[in-house]
Amino acid sequence: MKTVIIRWLFGVLFLWAAISKIGNPREFLGSVYAYELPFPRPILQGVAVVLPWVELLCGLLLIAGFWSETAVLGVVALLGIFVLATGQAWARGLKIDCGCLNLDFLGPGLSSSFKFIETTAFAFFRNIALLGLIAWASKGRI
Amino acid sequence: MARERKTTGNRKRLAEEVRRPSFLPSALSPDAGDRPACLDKQSVGATSAVGATSDWLVIGRRALAILSVATLLAFAYNSASPVGIRFRNSASSPSNGSSMGVEKPARPSFPAESISSASSSLQAPPPVAATTNAKGTTPDTTATAPAKPADIALNPKPVVAAALGTNPAPVTWAVLKPRLAAGEVLLLDARAKAPYEAGHIPGAILLSIFSSTDEFAAFRRTYPTNTSLAVYCGSASCPLSQLLAERLVKEFGYQHVEHMTTGYMEWQDSENGKPEVTVSSVAPRPIAADTSGPMPLPVLWDGARGRVEGGELTLVDIRTAAEYAAGHLPGAVSLPAESSSAAIAEFRRNQQPSKPILIYGTWTGSSQTFDYGRRLMKEHGFGRVECLHDGFVDLRLKRTAKAPKI
């Protein structure tokens, strides 16, 4: 039961994250550029195109409970990348939105009061916490 | 409860045994939920290293499958989407991804005081036919004829930005493109001269905070304040367009200024386009002593080097004391960004009041450096602060004769 709840939690979270990004690849590419990562442009563009779809598939698989170990592995890999990216941005003091989750559905008033969710520092600690949750839930397995 | 779940699980697995297509190897059969795949085909007692390895093999294969499916779907969707990313041949890219193009070998030339055009009025950009395209071909996606500025000056149209009450207002290329084609807006390139000449959005004219007072005055004479303007620079991390937009609004009273936030990069990604290459009519000048308001002046190393070596500027390293100790630009003094107010005040007392300071940080184009410069002026009363666009990391890697010896 515990694993089902956690699977669903991650599934919904990743679906949300994916849907936030898939709608407008160019906007997401802007978020990727804002991290000022030392990679060539084509790589960053490729990441901006593919990453939301990996999130989408992982989220769907987790919710469906199908290939869930692989999906969990994907989630761990993605979270690892996010921790590194947001961590370096935070450490460098870049004042950027993390581009992780879209809050627009909350409406303009509410989404601005939840703006802290989009800061790199918050995203950094949230991702670490999520990794910890996975480690705790999958103890002894995978 | 537990037994119930177990039987459900068994039934499910049984159903899957039936559903599994015969061409799939048994290891790839979809396992229900969280059971390690190895348990499906091996007895529980025989969980060995072999089982674990094949388990990971299965997971790896599935991960590869997920990644390929994601990639296929992603690129299919991206090419179909109207807001998809257009990949270009990056080798022919005129701007190598740096936010202002400063890493390009051609340094932004600031011809010392030899500005012939400074007194002349700002000329209109050359007509499209006269400009050369990077490859001499008609750009397919950018076939929008840039508006003649004269038309814009004659038919200024109010824009949405003004209705929203924000000025300068952020705008995206997708919104700007049709308006540009319709001649409703004049596009300004806020970067330095060299990246502008290497390639810019067709129809854009050069006007940056590096432009002289005369050039701004000429611009103001040519275009009335109800002209719709849109400003862009290298990328989202480049401060130049925002600065120019604010200056056009505050100092010159332009009523409709928009700020294409992601700049030239967005245009390149959207249009797969050939930039317009041209020799500008507006020549930038050396950084003049005309700071307006409490804003630090962004400068490039190539432009500031002479004054640093001539002792006209105090070079200030804002990285941590440890980083400073490990290596710094020659002649730089240390004032870490995390310094206490007392330490900053102490530093200022020892500083010649008339001498401007030039601050630099670790990374090129970092907003941290700029913000710190702003704070030094606003909160600590430094008269004139300039901030180096180039970061220490990039300056150290520079292999040109002009590079500082570190």
Q: Could you read off the pLDDT of B84-104 as tens digits, one per residue?
A: 787 764 433 333 333 333 333
Residue B388 contacts residue B328 (beta carbons within 8 Å): no
**Model confidence band, residue B127 (pLDDT cutoffs 50, 70, 90):** very low
Confidence of residue B31 (pLDDT cuts 50, 70, 90): very low
Q: What is the DSSP letter of B130?
A: G
In chain A, which residues have their Cβ closer than 8 Å to the Cβ of B261? Answer: 30
- How many CB atoms are located within 10 Å of the residue B387 CB? 27
Tens digits of per-residue pLDDT, B215-243? 888 888 878 888 889 999 887 777 788 88
The answer to whether B359 and B388 are in contact (CB under 8 A) is yes
Instruction: Tell me if residue B52 falls in helix, strand or coil.
Output: helix
Give the tens place of pLDDT for each residue, B156-202: 333 443 334 467 788 888 888 888 887 778 889 988 877 787 788 88
In a domain, A14, yes or no: yes
B320, pLDDT greater than 50: yes
Q: Which residues contact B114 (CB under 8 A, 6 or more apart)?
A: none
* Cα–Cα distance for residue pair B232/B235, rounded to 1 Å: 8
Interface of B with A in 103-162 (CB under 8 A): none
> Which of B195, B210, B172 minimizes the C-alpha distance to B275?
B195
**How far, in Å, CA of B264 to CA of A81, rounded?**
27
Judged by average pLDDT, the poorest of A88-92, B28-32, B250-254, B327-331 is B28-32
Q: What is the mean pLDDT of chain B?
A: 67
Q: Is residue B122 predicted with pLDDT exceeding 70?
A: no
Q: Identity (one letter) of the amino acid at A42?
A: P
Determine phi and psi for B173, rounding to 5 degrees: -65, -40
Which amino acid does the sequence have at B102?
A: V
Confidence of residue B46 (pLDDT cuts 50, 70, 90): very low
Same fold, B143-285 and B297-397: yes
Give me the helices (H) in B205-314, please: 213-222, 240-250, 263-271, 301-309
Residue A112, CB-side half-sphere exposure with 13 Å CA sphere: 2
ipTM of the complex: 0.86
What is the rounded CA–CA span in Å between residue B199 and residue B187?
Answer: 14
Domain extent at residue A8: 2-137
Does A39 reach chain B within 8 Å, measured CB to CB? Answer: no
At residue B217, the 3 state secondary structure works out as: helix
Highest-scoring range by mean pLDDT, B30-34, B273-277, B353-357: B353-357
pLDDT of res. A105? 66
Cβ contacts of B269 on chain A, cutoff 8 Å: 26, 29, 45
Chain B 233-252, residues with CB within 8 Å of chain A CB atoms: 235-237
**3-state DSSP call for residue B360?**
strand
Confidence of residue B341 (pLDDT cuts 50, 70, 90): confident
SS3 B230: strand
What is d(CA A88, CA B172) in angstroms, rounded to the nearest whole number?
27
Give the confidence band of B399 by pLDDT, cuts at 50, 70, 90.
very low
Which candidate, A90, A28, A4, A119, places its Cα nearest to that of B77?
Answer: A28
Kindly provide the residue ranges of all beta strands, DSSP E only, lying in B116-155, ordered along the sequence.
132-133
Would you call the peptide bond into B168 cis, given omega within 30 degrees of 0 as the criterion?
yes
* Top mean-pLDDT range of A111-125, B112-126, B329-343: B329-343
Within-domain flag for A63: yes
Give the number of residues written for chain B. Answer: 406
Give the 3-state secondary structure percentages of chain A, helix then strand then coil, rounded to 5: 75, 0, 20
pLDDT at A128: 93
Residue B139's pLDDT is 38
Query: What Å distances lie between residue A123 and A68, A79, A111, B73, B341, CA to CA?
Result: 24, 10, 16, 27, 30
Please give the distance of CA B330 from its chain centroid, rounded to a whole number.
29
| DSSP H/E element including A75 | helix A68-91
CB atoms within 10 A of CB B354: 7
Q: Taking a contact as any Cβ pair under 8 Å apart, which residues of chain B between 24 and 83 contact chain A?
A: 30-34, 36-37, 59, 62-63, 66-67, 69-71, 73-75, 77-78, 81, 83
In contact, B209 and B191? CB cutoff 8 Å: no
A window 100-119, beta carbon within 8 A of B: none
Helix (H) or strand (E) holding B72: helix B49-80
Residue A35, CA distances (Å) to A48, A86, B102 in order: 12, 8, 19
Whether residue A89 contacts residue A35, with contact meaning beta carbons closer than 8 Å, is answered with yes
Domain B143-285 has CATH 3.40.50.970: no
Please list every residue in chain A whose beta carbon sits closer than 8 Å to the beta carbon of residue B75: 49-50
d(CA B253, CA B288): 22
What tokens does B253 get?
């009273």
* A124, HSE (Cβ side, Cα atoms, 13 Å): 14
> In this predicted structure, what is the pLDDT of residue B113?
30
Query: Of the segments A40-44, B43-47, B63-67, B147-151, which one has the largest average pLDDT value?
Result: B63-67
Residue B317 and residue B328: Cα distance in Å, rounded? 7
Amino acid type, A113: S
What percentage of chain B exceeds 90 in pLDDT? 7
- Token couple for B369: 């450096």
Q: Is residue A142 a part of any domain in this protein?
A: no
Enumerate the domain spans of chain B: 143-285, 297-397
The stretches in chain A having pLDDT less than 50 are 142
Residues of B in contact with A27 (CB under 8 A): 83
Superfamily for domain range B297-397? Rhodanese-like domain (3.40.250.10)
Give B282's Cβ-side CA count (13 Å radius).
29
Least confident range from A44-58, B55-69, B131-145, B243-257: namely: B131-145
Number of separate domains in chain A: 1
- Percent of chain B residues past pLDDT 70, beyond the cut: 60
Give the position of tokens 């502008």.
B196
User: pLDDT band at B140, cuts 50/70/90?
Assistant: very low
As a 3-state breakdown, chain B gives helix, strand, coil percent values, each rounded to 5, of 40, 10, 50
Q: Which residue of A has its CA nearest to B394?
A: A38
Name which residue leads in pLDDT, B280 or A31. A31
User: What is the rounded CA–CA span in Å between residue B193 and residue B215?
Assistant: 14
**Secondary element (H or E) of residue A63:** helix A41-64
* Residue A33 within a domain: yes
* A42 at interface of B, judged by CB pairs closer than 8 A: yes
Residue B151 scores a pLDDT above 60: no
The pLDDT score that the predictor gives to residue B316 is 92
Q: Nearest-CA neighbor of B107 among B390, B405, B397?
A: B390
Is pLDDT above 50 for B79? Answer: yes
